[in-house]
Chains A and B, each alone.
Chain A
Amino acid sequence: MSAAVEVRGLRKSYGKVEAVKGVGFEVLPGEVFGFLGPNGAGKTTTISMLCTLVNPTGGTATVAGHDVVTERDEVRRNIGLVFQDPTLDGYLTAEQNLRFHAELYGVPKHLVADRLRQVMEMVALWDRKDSKVMTFSGGMKRRLEIARGLLHSPRVLFLDEPTVGLDPQTRAAIWGYINQLRQTEDITIFMTTHYMDEAEYCDRIAIIDHGEIVVVDSPEALKASVGKDRVQIQTGDDQAAIKALRERFGLDAQIREGQVTFGVPGGEEFVPRLFAELGLPIRSVSVSRPSLDDVFMEYTGSTIRDAESEGSKNQWMKVMARR
């Protein structure tokens, strides 16, 4: 079976700014593929090119076997889209919004009623079908958009940050639907996220940073590749602690999220040595198995939260410089 999404050397520049710098990857049919990276890493630009919304500056991409530039309508027929920002008509009812979609996509008339009910029941909105969408909460709107994205049985469903800005309960519900979908529908899911815990649900993830793909693999394989546990300590003098770690243990520690952080194989066995040999008072210590945070840090050199605050700092400076 050929790949659901195949991307080679895909680039996008806006003027001099290179938003996506030649990415390449394949998404296999039936998998949940996650695009993980901080805000501004190029996730939305990439997804927009795959959805035929933005023309690439260079490279090629096929979705469901169709080229995103030359076979645009074929691609559109085969994909479902859920955007970050809502794209519903608040003045219409939930059902009217979905009917609009069915007609626009040319869903065969005899199937519309059944399919509509099915997708609305899946997201538990069937009993609200006659309510105007403007009365819906953010979570309900997102659920309705997911239902709409599935209405025409797309081969590939694109979800751009599907859970951003939602409460934990709704986030869990949305992941429930995604898992259900994998069982009931013959569908490939391509999603972007900057939540590490959500990336864990994916079959494979691609880490994207500064417009480039750093690594692609399953979450387990990525975590195993780190090979070290993450140790975080709090001390009275962090700089001295970093120096001591380098001199006595040959460990390269950094301050992450306000704590001295370093990776070391067999972290739990290392802690007694740390207390005995560091030569500085330690206030607290925590050891954790490698998480995707560590994977991200291993491959990009910073945690995703730091990358985002750095990114927003840069944006802020750009704004200030423009004045």
Chain B
Amino acid sequence: MTMTDVVRVTLPRGGAAHDVRAIKIVLHRELLRFVNDRTRMLSSLVQPVLWLFVLGTGIGSLVRDSIPGIDFRTFMFPGMIAMTVITTGMFSAASIVWDREFGFLREMLVAPVSRGSIVLGKCLGGAFVATAQGVIILALAGVVGVPYAPGLLLTLLGEMFLAAFTITAFGTLLAARMKSMQSFFGVMQMAIMPMVFLSGAMFPLANLPSWLHVLTTVNPLTYAVDPMRHAVFAHLNVPPQVDAALNPGIVWFGWRLPIGLELGVVTALALILLGVAISQFKRAE
């Protein structure tokens, strides 16, 4: 190769276009890794499917008489979508810890690009991957008596994406300080299990003892699960007393929150978590 053949690169100075490229490539990498990792795809589906069809069927036969006109699995369905999305989103965030252990994080952090672009790309990537995973559960809707109404599917898709983005931002925030996979998964289990239990994903939040009611109301995940359940129940034909028992909504001091406000709470939370995650990465340098 002679000197004239050398392709010389002059990097343009920053700017929004560069940030967008950085966000896109970080996102692209998440998708590539997800598509390449079939094991992960399968393993994060096993749990919700088990819950839905084994536990859901079991409990369903027990409570059949008290909820006439609806399959308990139909009730669990939106909760299981949320759970799939949450597990997958957390796994995506865990890859940051993995990247740190294997050095790749350093490649990202020494690049002349803002921390914000990297964190945002990561969260969007996690959100897309988790939504894709949720779509697989969504496809099972018919099996548990949820209609394939286009409006419903689109609403759920949007709500899944929002929930996925929020949880990935939360995971990213955790991952910013974690040095090993073991500790990340430890903390993740500690945070995720109670949040899922208290979110209304597994049992209805109506008529709970007041201490449990308070916990479910402060649990951010509740605000992500309720809109999904609301959307599903809007497309079902169930007696009012069953709807009240299974789909009570979120109640603040006797006031039932509109769905828009619930989604607003999740969005605000997503932005706050994202902001804190970015500042954590700025500080971690």
Contact = CB atoms under 8 A, between A and B. Distances in A.
B139 interface: no
B104 A184 contact: no
B14 A103 contact: no
Contacts of B26: 104
Nearest to B2: A184
A76 B107 CA distance: 11
B111 interface: yes
Interface string B3-41: 101111111111001100110111001001100110000
Interface stretch (A92-100, A231-239, A278-286, A315-323): A92-100
A77 B10 CA distance: 9
Contacts of A52: 110
B36 A91 contact: yes
Given A86-B103, A92-B29, A184-B1, A53 B9 contact: no
Interface string A99-127: 11101111110010011001001100000
B45 to A, nearest CB: 20
A249 B196 CA distance: 84
Contacts of B110: 51-53, 76, 81
A99 B3 CA distance: 24
Given A76-B110, A87-B106, A184-B3, A100 B8 contact: no
B141 interface: no
B25 A103 contact: yes
B192 interface: no
The residue among B13, B22, B25, B110 with the most chain A CB atoms within 10 A of its own CB is B110
Given A77-B112, A105-B111, A111 B7 contact: yes
A220 interface: no
Contacts of B6: 118, 184-185
A183 B3 contact: yes
Contact of B11 (A77, A114, A183): A77
A111 B113 CA distance: 19
Given A91-B33, A151-B9, A153-B9, A101 B107 contact: yes
Contacts of B33: 89, 91-92
B1 A104 contact: no
A118 B48 CA distance: 48
A104 B108 contact: yes
Contact of B21 (A51, A85, A103): A103
A129 interface: no
Nearest to A145: B107
A88 B104 contact: yes
A83 interface: yes
A73 B14 contact: yes
A90 interface: yes
Contacts of A107: 9, 11
A204 interface: no
A194 interface: no
B211 interface: no
B21 A106 contact: yes
Contacts of B7: 111, 114-115, 118
Given A77-B11, A100-B25, A83 B102 contact: no
A90 B102 contact: yes
Contact of A104 (B8, B10, B22, B103): B22
A162 to B, nearest CB: 15
Contacts of A53: 106, 109-110, 285
A52 B106 CA distance: 12
Interface of B: 1, 3, 5-14, 17-18, 21-22, 24-26, 29, 32-33, 36-37, 99, 102-104, 106-113, 285
Interface of A: 51-53, 55, 73-74, 76-77, 81, 83, 85-92, 96, 99-101, 103-108, 111, 114-115, 118, 121-122, 151-153, 183-186
Given A77-B112, A101-B107, A183-B3, 20 more contacts: A53-B285, A83-B106, A87-B107, A89-B33, A89-B102, A91-B32, A91-B37, A92-B29, A99-B25, A105-B111, A105-B112, A106-B17, A106-B22, A107-B11, A108-B11, A111-B9, A114-B7, A122-B1, A184-B3, A184-B6
The 9 A-B pairs at the shortest CB distance, nearest first, are namely A103-B25, A76-B112, A87-B103, A153-B9, A106-B18, A104-B111, A77-B112, A87-B107, A115-B7
30 contacts: A53-B106, A55-B285, A73-B14, A76-B112, A77-B11, A77-B13, A81-B110, A87-B102, A87-B104, A89-B33, A89-B102, A90-B102, A91-B36, A100-B25, A100-B107, A101-B107, A103-B22, A103-B25, A104-B22, A104-B107, A104-B113, A105-B111, A106-B11, A106-B22, A108-B11, A115-B9, A121-B1, A153-B8, A153-B9, A184-B1
